[in-house]
């Protein structure tokens, strides 16, 4: 999938179908000239339904279609026959999609499980036929109910990437390179900031055919929680990751300070993110000789007291197996 095909935010307009009108038919047969009312009910209007589809990874299919309308219910017929219901319209979305009311900003529901279906707007109820209105004093009612109008709604669909591990770091920290080495993903890689503008997903192969999903999230900058840079555009993708892998390059001026800024941006966006498991990887560590690494480790043991960290190099393939082992253990530790 190319970067341009990754769409994680769309606004659409949905309209359910109008209910069919009830019938005012009066029974007329050869030997029954005044058989009375036998008009049937109208069919209900079609619903618009949001449906989970585990084979989808993006909202790209909704990029160029912004209006969805369900079918109208058919009118009732004679012999109290009910009109056909209007055709329902299904909108398939990937797992991890949040549906909001565009006008109010209210979150309506989230799609998180395969097979989940949610009616976003209900079709109008069909009108009752004249057969419902007959009585001892009103034996030939010549009226029936019209069908109820359908509903209209402007909705916003936001996709939050579902992954086991989310890569968090400043631009150019080496996240895309790490993802390309650990997985078969082919993210755009270059030596300048903001190479990654959309999340990339990859499947990491572990021992005994075990796998987990890793997401490369676009780089954080200071002020991202307030919307600076890519801001909220990517921070929402971190919410659904079970474990956060912080990537800080070995040539950073202050490794602990960079880590603190990243943590603070997550806290300001959503404090619950700090409850997730964390691991810090010092990337680009192939540029460190043994002496420098030993000095840095001595400082980091004090700075990262209680916070697990390790040295890795994606280019030199150093520390990657240990990284995968640690992530696998974090993802599969028993819950307390």
Cα distance between residue 73 and residue 87, in whole Å: 8
Q: Note the pLDDT of residue 228.
A: 46
Tokens 């990284």: give the residue: 323
Burial class (CB in 10 A: 0-12, 13-18, 19+), 113: exposed
Q: Which fold has domain 165-331?
A: Rossmann fold (3.40.50)
What is the H or E stretch that residue 321 is in?
helix 320-331
Average pLDDT, the chain: 83
Q: Note the pLDDT of residue 150.
A: 96
Interval 88-94 mean pLDDT:
95
Where is pLDDT greater, at 166 or 4?
166
Q: Do domains 1-159 and 165-331 have the same CATH topology?
A: no
Provide CATH code, domain 1-159.
2.70.210.12
Question: Is the model's pLDDT at 236 over the cut of 70?
Answer: no
Interval 81-90 mean pLDDT:
95
> Mind listing the pLDDT tens digit for each residue in 31-59?
777 778 989 999 999 999 999 998 887 88
Q: Which two tokens stand for residue 295?
A: 């000095």
Interval 133-159 mean pLDDT:
90
What are the residue ranges spanned by the domains of the chain? Answer: 1-159, 165-331
- pLDDT category, 1, cuts 50, 70, 90? very low
Q: Note the pLDDT of residue 232.
A: 47
Where is pLDDT greater, at 251 or 117?
117
Question: Is the model's pLDDT at 185 over the cut of 80?
Answer: no
Burial class (CB in 10 A: 0-12, 13-18, 19+), 334: exposed
Q: Note the pLDDT of residue 181.
A: 84
> Mind listing the pLDDT tens digit for each residue in 242-262?
788 999 988 888 889 989 988
Cβ(147)–Cβ(81) below 8 Å: no
- How many Å from the N-terminal Cα to the C-terminal Cα in the chain? 39
> Mind listing the pLDDT tens digit for each residue in 202-224?
778 887 777 888 877 765 655 44
Cα distance between residue 260 and residue 151, in whole Å: 48
Calculate what percentage of the chain has a pLDDT beyond 70: 85
């Amino acid at each position: 999938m190319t970067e341009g095909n990754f769409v994680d935010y769309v606004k659409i307009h949905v309209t359910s179908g109008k209910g069919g009108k009830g019938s005012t038919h009066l029974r007329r047969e050869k030997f029954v000239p005044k058989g009375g009312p036998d008009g049937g009910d109208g069919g209900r209007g079609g619903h618009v339904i949001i449906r989970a589809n585990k084979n989808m990874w993006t909202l790209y299919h909704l990029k160029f279609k912004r209006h969805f309308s369900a079918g109208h219910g058919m009118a009732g017929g004679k012999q109290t026959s009910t009109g056909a219901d209007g055709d329902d319209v299904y909108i398939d979305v990937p797992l991890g999609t949040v549906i909001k009311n565009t006008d109010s900003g209210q979150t309506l529901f989230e799609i998180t499980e395969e097979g989940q279906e949610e009616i976003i707007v209900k079709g109008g109820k069909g009108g009752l036929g004249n057969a419902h209105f007959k009585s001892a004093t009103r034996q030939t009612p010549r009226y029936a109910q019209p069908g109820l109008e359908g509903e209209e709604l402007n909705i916003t669909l936001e996709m939050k990437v579902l992954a086991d591990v989310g890569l968090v770091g400043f631009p150019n920290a080496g996240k895309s390179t790490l993802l390309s080495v650990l997985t078969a993903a082919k993210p755009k890689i270059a030596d300048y900031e903001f190479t990654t503008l959309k999340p990339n997903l990859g499947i990491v192969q572990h021992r005994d055919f075990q796998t987990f999903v890793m997401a490369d999230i676009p780089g954080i900058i200071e002020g991202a929680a307030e919307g600076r840079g890519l801001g909220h555009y990517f921070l929402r993708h971190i919410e659904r990751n079970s474990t956060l892998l912080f990537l800080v390059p070995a040539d950073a001026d202050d490794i602990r300070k960079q880590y603190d800024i990243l943590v603070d941006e997550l806290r300001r966006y959503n404090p619950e993110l700090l409850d997730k498991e964390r691991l810090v990887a010092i990337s680009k560590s192939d540029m460190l000789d043994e002496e420098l690494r030993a000095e840095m480790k001595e400082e980091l043991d004090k700075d990262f007291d209680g916070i697990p960290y390790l040295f890795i190099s994606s280019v030199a393939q150093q520390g990657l197996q240990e990284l995968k082992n640690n992530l696998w253990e974090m993802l599969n530790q028993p819950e307390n």
